[in-house]
Homo-oligomer: A and B are copies of this chain.
Amino acid sequence: MPISRIDTFLRKLERRDRLSSAEAELLVDAAGDEVSFDMDSDLVREGDRPATSTLLVSGLATRYRVLSDGQRQITAIHVPGDFVDLHSLLLREMDHSVAALTRCRIVRYPHERLKRITEQAPHLTRLLWLMTLIDASIQREWIVAMGRRSAGQQMAHLLCELYVRLGVAGLVDGPSFSFPITQVQLGDALGMSAVHVNRVLQELRGENLFTWQGQTVRVLDWDGLQQRAEFDPRYLHLNIESR
């Protein structure tokens, strides 16, 4: 089969269930325009009523909300292979925005084609549904981390999660992965101030769990990092099952 631009997405699905070639073809055929976005631009905005859903092909993106006083909270970090707004197919109106953390390439899926899939391909529909359920599962884990984990644990947990998710996307290089995020943005994701992010990172680096040079995170002690974070990848549902 030819490598297509949605290959990462197909691989992500295949980590959860068997995908028939007919289904893969449906997804390839339903793909629309490919578009690039500059760093820090919005892929979708709160209040929009998109007619397409956005599959991230390369780059990182964040879902976020801005409060009246200008404070920002990131509610999700998306990696290649993620649909960043599949939910807009049914929710219709966006209740948050999505921004490009780096330069991003995306593929647009027109809602009418996705809707046709829901009419004609029940199993594939369930897999699309599943992707939104896994997103929700990750959000629950973030709630747990924000509510009950220490700042160090929370940070370690995020790094564990990204290491695994980027691995699924084929974007880890042994113990290293590229994570081009500023400490301010990290604070917006974790619900802390940038200053505190800085101090927590120093503490974790001091424990020799990882290094973070430039945009590259290098995991020095994966077991230690997981233990520090109490990380259990179960919530990522990386099992092949009949769904």
Q: A: which residues have CB within 8 A of B?
A: 63, 65, 67-68, 71-73, 75-76, 87, 90-93, 95-96, 118-119, 122, 125-126, 129-130, 132-137, 139-140, 142-144, 146-149, 188, 190-191, 230, 234-235, 237, 239, 241, 243
Besides A73-B148, A118-B122, 14 more A-B contacts (Cβ < 8 Å) are: A65-B140, A67-B144, A73-B144, A75-B140, A87-B137, A91-B133, A92-B239, A92-B243, A95-B140, A95-B237, A119-B122, A146-B146, A147-B188, A147-B191
Could you name 24 residue pairs across A and B whose Cβ atoms are closer than 8 Å? A67-B149, A71-B148, A72-B148, A73-B143, A73-B148, A87-B137, A90-B126, A90-B129, A90-B133, A91-B130, A91-B137, A91-B237, A118-B122, A118-B125, A125-B125, A132-B136, A136-B136, A142-B143, A143-B143, A143-B146, A143-B191, A147-B190, A147-B191, A148-B191
Contact present for B148 and A67 (CB under 8 Å): yes
On chain B, the residues within 8 Å of A91 by CB distance are: 130, 133-134, 137, 237
Task: Select the residue from A122, A188, A234 with max chain B CB neighbours within 10 A.
Answer: A122
Contact present for A90 and B148 (CB under 8 Å): no
On chain B, the residues within 8 Å of A191 by CB distance are: 143, 146-148
